[in-house]
Amino acid sequence: MTENDKYEIVIGLEVHAQLNTKTKIFAADETVYGAAPNTQISPITLGLPGVLPMLNKEVVEKAVKLGIALHCTITEENHFARKNYFYADLPKGYQISQDKAPVCTGGYVEIEVNNERKQISLTRIHMEEDAGKNNHELDEQYSLIDLNRAGVPLLEIVSEPDIRSSDEAYAYVTELRKLVRYLQICDGNMEEGSMRCDANVSVRLKGETAYRNRVEVKNMNSIRNVKRAIDNEVKRQIEIYEAGGTIDQETRGFNPADGSSFPLRSKENAHDYRYFPEPDLPPVVITQQTIAAIRAAMPQLPKELQEKFSGEYHLSAYDAHVLTDEREIALYFLELIQFSKNYKSAANWVINEVKSFVNENNISISAFNVKPAQLAEIIQLIDANIVSSSGAKNIFKSFAEGNAKSAVAIAEELNLVQSSDTDELSKWIETALAKYPDKVKEYKNGKKGNINLFMGEVMKLSRGTADPKVTTKLLEEKLNA
């Protein structure tokens, strides 16, 4: 019995999603990522005496959007609270957050691992402001503080301890990131910190009913590192239990270099946040009408699109899944099928060519030169037997390089128009057969597979322009004569 058969893994995740609003949650300062330090800071952000926060309506709308997408209950009367702690990147000495009345409660994230679907329950989603950023590396003597991020809106999404493996955690964060991107409320970029994940991890013996003490691991900057952090933490805890030790509740920092973690603070040193109601902000009432209006304006989400793709367009579940992985790709496909009704071929082109091209070149779809209408032209040329599929790839490449001519013009320019001119084809076929008299004999004696060899030869002679269907037909006629 391995140790992992003996123990059950218990994980709850806290994900912070930075909302992509133009201005901050309680101030009109801009929120541009990468702006020069301390250029997006007003007296409100600096927490100067006498200033008052004013709630950005867009934050509430975006929170409700996510709540609807995740099947949550939306709180009607919302309250903000002060979470008190002292830190250099928090000029007010408290963070405005939500405590007892978070904007969303309940709900779930649906994940799929090893072909099994599972719902991970959510505890809550609340709105809060981000802190600034300390920098301890830029200067030898001083720590530097950039307050541009202070006051940027966040949604904190807290899961129940329902996650049972690092693979499930990986799927959960991937799904959440996909959703916030579809909803266009957060760019989901973990490398830039606009989505962050803390993992609460514990293990217990299988069959045990109570949870054991958990350890919170912080600062993972990619989904892969969330998984690595969990794998390492699980291993660390099992080793301690196996050696007869105990786990105390603590917070640890992740070290991406080797996947290990180091202690940040123990439970004894945990903050006492002394939450109290924020007196400067009135309660925010979210009416049923507001919720209905936001619901009506919701974009189509991956799951609905998948159902549409497999139901209406008869694509496989796999294709539907891959096409909806990323919002931009799904939208590209939707536009493409406005121009081409060959859904299967459209799906193949998007999955195999478009996706690979944008991934390999690390560009966004908006910077990708082959527009859906152009790809549809290519598909039409293949369907009409005007170009071969390998010829079509050359047209695709030419479009991708920025060629703005029509697909037909490019096909002609690159000599890709398939020859179904039988005179020309016959000549190539004769040459091909003359080259392999033995193989022709074999064919006539029943080795029909040799036709591929002749076909290959004709393709070579025609430099790929021979129409495969017509060639096959002519070859067979000739060989069976």
Q: Which is nearer to ligand ADP, 13 or 416 (CB)?
A: 13
Residue 12 binds ligand ADP, judged by CB under 6 A: yes
Residue with tokens 């904190």: 156
Q: Which is nearer to ligand ADP, 213 or 452 (CB)?
A: 213
DSSP, res 219: E
Handedness of CA 375, 377, 383, 389 (dihedral sign): negative
* First CA to last CA distance, the chain: 69
Residue 8 binds ligand ADP, judged by CB under 6 A: no
Contact 465, 436 (CB under 8 A): no
Contact 226, 199 (CB under 8 A): yes
Binding ligand ADP (rule: CB under 6 A), the pick from 158, 417, 451, 470 is: 158
Stretch that binds ligand ADP, among 16-24, 105-113, 210-218, 443-451 (CB under 6 A): 210-218
Q: Which is nearer to ligand ADP, 102 or 302 (CB)?
A: 102
User: Which residue, judged by CB position, is nearest to ligand ADP in the bound state?
Assistant: 12
116: Cβ contacts below 8 Å, ≥ 6 apart: none
Residue 161 binds ligand ADP, judged by CB under 6 A: yes
Query: What's the closest the beta carbon of residue 176 comes to ligand ADP, in angstroms?
Result: 13
Residue 14 binds ligand ADP, judged by CB under 6 A: yes
Binding ligand ADP (rule: CB under 6 A), the pick from 21, 202, 394, 403 is: 202
* Identity of residue 181: R
* Identity of residue 249: Q
Query: What's the closest the beta carbon of residue 158 comes to ligand ADP, in angstroms?
Result: 5
Binding ligand ADP (rule: CB under 6 A), the pick from 98, 159, 165, 471 is: 159
Q: Which is nearer to ligand ADP, 45 or 123 (CB)?
A: 123
Q: Which is nearer to ligand ADP, 265 or 448 (CB)?
A: 265
Q: Which is nearer to ligand ADP, 162 or 326 (CB)?
A: 162
Q: Which is nearer to ligand ADP, 157 or 475 (CB)?
A: 157
* Identity of residue 213: N
Residue 11 binds ligand ADP, judged by CB under 6 A: yes
3: Cβ contacts below 8 Å, ≥ 6 apart: 238, 242
Q: Which two tokens stand for residue 36?
A: 């020069």
Stretch that binds ligand ADP, among 63-71, 144-152, 154-162, 354-362 (CB under 6 A): 154-162
Stretch that binds ligand ADP, among 53-61, 194-202, 378-386, 445-453 (CB under 6 A): 194-202
| Backbone φ, ψ for residue 178 (5° rounding) | -60, -45
Q: Which is nearer to ligand ADP, 160 or 307 (CB)?
A: 160
Binding mask 47-86 for ligand ADP (x = CB under 6 A): ----------------------------------------
Binding ligand ADP (rule: CB under 6 A), the pick from 18, 95, 148, 200 is: 200
Residue 256 binds ligand ADP, judged by CB under 6 A: no
Which one, of 13, 217, 197, 185, lies nearest residue 108 by Cα?
Answer: 13
Residue 196 binds ligand ADP, judged by CB under 6 A: no
Binding mask 213-242 for ligand ADP (x = CB under 6 A): -x----------------------------
13: Cβ contacts below 8 Å, ≥ 6 apart: 157, 158, 159, 163, 169, 172, 173, 197, 198, 199, 200, 226
Size of the site for ligand ADP (CB under 6 A): 15
Question: Strand, coil or helix: what is 98?
Answer: coil
Contact 430, 460 (CB under 8 A): no
Q: What does the DSSP assignment read for 18-37?
A: E---SB-SSS--B--TTPPT
Stretch that binds ligand ADP, among 208-216, 284-292, 315-323, 351-359 (CB under 6 A): 208-216
- The CA distances from residue 165 to 26, 202, 322, in Å, are 38, 11, 23
Cross-strand pairs, 276? 82
Stretch that binds ligand ADP, among 8-16, 146-154, 276-284, 439-447 (CB under 6 A): 8-16
- The CA distances from residue 35 to 47, 146, 173, in Å, are 20, 10, 28
The H-or-E segment that residue 157 falls in is: strand 153-159
Q: Under the rule (CB under 6 A), what is the footprint of ligand ADP?
A: 10-14, 158-161, 200-202, 211-212, 214
